[in-house]
C-alpha cells in the first residue's frame, strides 16, 4: 500500500474512475509479488485489508453487464464465502441423490436433460398423430357433413398451440375439400385454429370462422388468412362450444365472399 498523488497513481498503472473525486493523495494497492510483476494495481480512497490473506476465501457469485464494455461482479469473502460454498455442496449432494451416484453429475444432468427433450418431442408427435387420426388408436378421421362441406373438428388437451397450424394443414390434406377446426386446451386456456381448403376460400373465410370460435371461449378477434386463421380465449372449458360455433357458422345461408 502506498500513498501517491492521483497523477502518479495513474502513471503507475492504476485506473481512475470517471466521475469520482480524488484528493491530493490517494492510496494505491498492488496485488502480486511486490515487484514489477504486480498483476493488479488499484487506486482507491476506501478502507482495505492489510494483506490479501485477510480476505481468505473469495467466491464470485454473480457476473453481468452494466453497460457497453463494462461488467459487474458480485462476490463473497471469508466466512460468508465458506457458508455459500457449503450450501452449494449440499445442493450438489441433493442432486446426486436424485440422479444417482455418478463421478460427473454435470454430464449426467445434461444426459437426462437430453432424454427429457427427446421424450417431450415423442409425446408431442403422438398427440399430433392422435389429433388427426393417424395414430394406432384412431385410424380414421371422423368427418361430418356440415353446411354442405366436409368438416373435421377436435378438442385436444395439452397440445402445444404452436403445433396447431401444422395439424390443421394435415387435416385439410386428409379431408380433401372442407373445413378443419382444432382447439388446444392448456392450463384452462383455449387456442383455436381453423383451416379452409383452397377450393372453398371464395365462399368460406377461415378468419370469420375462427372469430366465432374465439368468441365462444371468451376471447376477442383472431386473425390470419382466408385459408388459415388462429385465435384464443381464456375459457378452455367451452372448447366444444367453439367447435359448435364454427359448425353453426357453416350452416348459415350467408357466406363470406
- The pLDDT, as a whole number, for residue 85 is 95
- The pLDDT, as a whole number, for residue 139 is 41
Query: Cα(11)–Cα(185) distance, rounded to whole angstroms?
Result: 67
Task: Write out the three cell numbers for 129.
Answer: 398423430
Q: Residue 257 pLDDT > 50, yes or no? A: no
User: How confident is the model over 182-209, as pLDDT tens digits?
Assistant: 999 988 999 999 999 999 999 999 999 9
Comparing 98 with 6, the larger pLDDT belongs to 98
Comparing 140 with 171, the larger pLDDT belongs to 171
Residue 130 pLDDT class (50, 70, 90 cuts) = low
143 closest CA partner among 226, 237, 247, 20: 247
- The pLDDT, as a whole number, for residue 47 is 57
- Residues of the chain above pLDDT 70, percent: 86
Phi then psi for residue 95, to 5 deg, are -65, -45
Interval 228-254 mean pLDDT? 90
- The pLDDT, as a whole number, for residue 135 is 44
Comparing 227 with 255, the larger pLDDT belongs to 227
Residue 13 pLDDT class (50, 70, 90 cuts) = confident
Give me the half-sphere count of Cα atoms (radius 13 Å) on the Cβ side of residue 16.
Answer: 16
> How many residues belong to the chain?
257
- The pLDDT, as a whole number, for residue 215 is 94
In the predicted model, what is the mean pLDDT of the chain? 83
Helix (H, G, I), strand (E, B) or coil at 159: coil
- The pLDDT, as a whole number, for residue 136 is 39
- The rounded Cα 222 to chain-centroid distance in angstroms is 23
Task: Write out the three cell numbers for 246.
Answer: 364454427
Interval 3-15 mean pLDDT? 77
Interval 73-91 mean pLDDT? 92
Comparing 30 with 114, the larger pLDDT belongs to 114
- The pLDDT, as a whole number, for residue 137 is 37
- The pLDDT, as a whole number, for residue 140 is 47
Q: Residue 121 pLDDT > 60, yes or no? A: yes
Are 174 and 233 in contact, with CB atoms under 8 Å apart? no
Residue 103 pLDDT class (50, 70, 90 cuts) = confident
Amino acid at each position: 500500500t502506498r500513498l501517491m498523488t492521483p497523477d502518479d497513481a495513474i502513471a503507475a498503472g492504476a485506473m481512475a474512475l470517471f466521475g469520482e473525486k480524488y484528493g491530493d493523495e490517494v492510496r494505491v494497492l498492488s496485488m502480486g509479488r511486490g515487484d514489477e510483476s504486480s498483476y493488479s494495481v488499484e487506486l482507491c480512497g476506501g478502507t482495505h485489508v492489510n494483506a490479501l490473506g485477510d480476505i481468505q476465501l473469495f467466491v464470485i457469485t454473480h457476473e453481468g453487464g452494466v453497460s457497453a464494455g463494462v461488467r459487474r461482479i458480485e462476490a463473497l469473502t471469508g466466512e460468508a464465502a465458506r457458508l455459500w460454498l457449503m450450501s452449494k455442496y449440499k445442493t450438489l449432494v441433493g442432486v446426486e441423490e436424485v440422479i444417482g451416484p455418478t463421478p460427473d453429475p454435470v454430464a449426467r444432468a445434461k444426459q437426462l436433460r437430453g432424454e427429457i427433450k427427446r421424450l417431450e418431442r415423442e409425446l408431442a408427435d403422438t398427440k399430433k398423430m392422435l389429433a388427426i387420426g393417424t395414430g394406432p388408436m384412431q385410424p380414421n378421421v371422423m368427418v361430418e357433413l356440415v353446411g354442405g362441406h366436409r368438416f373435421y373438428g377436435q378438442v385436444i388437451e395439452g397440445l402445444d398451440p404452436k403445433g396447431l397450424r401444422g395439424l390443421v394443414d394435415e387435416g385439410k390434406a386428409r379431408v380433401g375439400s372442407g373445413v378443419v377446426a382444432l382447439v388446444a386446451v392448456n392450463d384452462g386456456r383455449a387456442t383455436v385454429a381453423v383451416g379452409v381448403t383452397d377450393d372453398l376460400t371464395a365462399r368460406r373465410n377461415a378468419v370469420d370462422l375462427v372469430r366465432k370460435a374465439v368468441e365462444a371461449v371468451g376471447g376477442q378477434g383472431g386473425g390470419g388468412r382466408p385459408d388459415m386463421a388462429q385465435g384464443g380465449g381464456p375459457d378452455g372449458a367451452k372448447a366444444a362450444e367453439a367447435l359448435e360455433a364454427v359448425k353453426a357458422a357453416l350452416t348459415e345461408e350467408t357466406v363470406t365472399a
